[in-house]
Amino acid sequence: MSEVILVIEDDTAVTDLISRVLKREGYTPITCADRERVLEALRAVRPDLVLLDVGLPGADGLEVCRRLRRESDVPVIMLSGRAGTGDVVAGLEAGADDYMTKPFKPTELVARIRARLRRHRAACAEHVRVGDLDIDVVGHEVRRDDVPITLTPLEFSLLVTLARSPWKVFTRDELLEQVWGYQHAVDTRLVNVHVQRLRTKIERDPEHPAIVLTVRGVGYRAGGEH
């Protein structure tokens, strides 16, 4: 069965283009142009990934993304005509896993979709500990003192990548390749924003992190007792 991708886009020309590209690559596109029916579509379709146009008419695309994220941990790639730093960061902080600026090349869109889906599927049977967190990789579960902590698939993958190699300092480019699956130059703001989001969920004091540590001038590493 092919993977289902929910395309939330009101521009019929863009929707048709994306749908053709997705079908050619073996995916099943489901389209939704009505901002009021986004959550209804999400519940009915249960997609493997969501492509979200941040510029839906009459809608706050960021709020739509927040609503999606409250309902599901499905990977979300945000599409936007805005490329400013503030716009990208706002989209990621709203819950998107990735942010693409229009116009984009179909080949790059497909590459990013594949990367997100691959990371979402990837898991091996193991438990990893970092600091006072217990990570059940195959069960996709993080616990502290037997209390579960809810993470998105990307946040989970980021945490597992760091926790598996507690002795290693990862550069942002290395994390982009290992967590996001990118093998070409991509904006490292993706890493910074997701590290901050992850810290708000797993750190006892996000302002003084003990689990995900910053190594100035290099990148990030896992903290805690090793």
**In the predicted structure, residue 124 carries a pLDDT above the cut 50:** no
- Could you tell me the CA-to-CA distances from 25 to 19, 20, 59 in Å, in that order? 10, 9, 30
Taking residues 12-35, report their average pLDDT.
91
123 in Cβ contact with 140 (< 8 Å): yes
- What does the mean pLDDT of the chain come to? 86
DSSP assignment of 164-181:
H-TT-PEEHHHHIIIII-
Residue with tokens 């896992």: 222
pLDDT at 226: 41
The pLDDT-based confidence of 42 (bands split at 50, 70, 90) is: confident
Taking residues 195-219, report their average pLDDT.
94
**In the predicted structure, residue 1 carries a pLDDT above the cut 70:** no
pLDDT at 182: 78
DSSP H or E run through 13: helix 12-24
Cα 86 to Cα 92: distance, rounded to the nearest angstrom: 10
pLDDT at 197: 93
Q: pTM higher than 0.85 for the full model?
A: no
pLDDT at 187: 76
Taking residues 147-168, report their average pLDDT.
91
pLDDT at 194: 93
pLDDT at 126: 67
DSSP assignment of 92-148:
HHTT-SEEEESS--HHHHHHHHHHHHHHHH---S-EEEETTEEEETTTTEEEETTEE
- List, for residues 95-122, the tens digit of each pLDDT value: 899 999 888 899 999 999 998 888 766 5
The pLDDT-based confidence of 35 (bands split at 50, 70, 90) is: confident
Q: Give Cβ neighbours of residue 137 (< 8 Å, ≥ 6 apart).
A: 123, 124, 125, 126, 127, 128, 160
Q: What is the largest CA-CA distance in the chain?
A: 54
Residue 132: phi and psi, rounded to 5, are: -105, 20
pLDDT at 57: 66
CB neighbours of residue 154 within 10 Å? 24
Choice among 1-5, 108-112, 122-126, 220-224 with the minimum mean pLDDT: 122-126
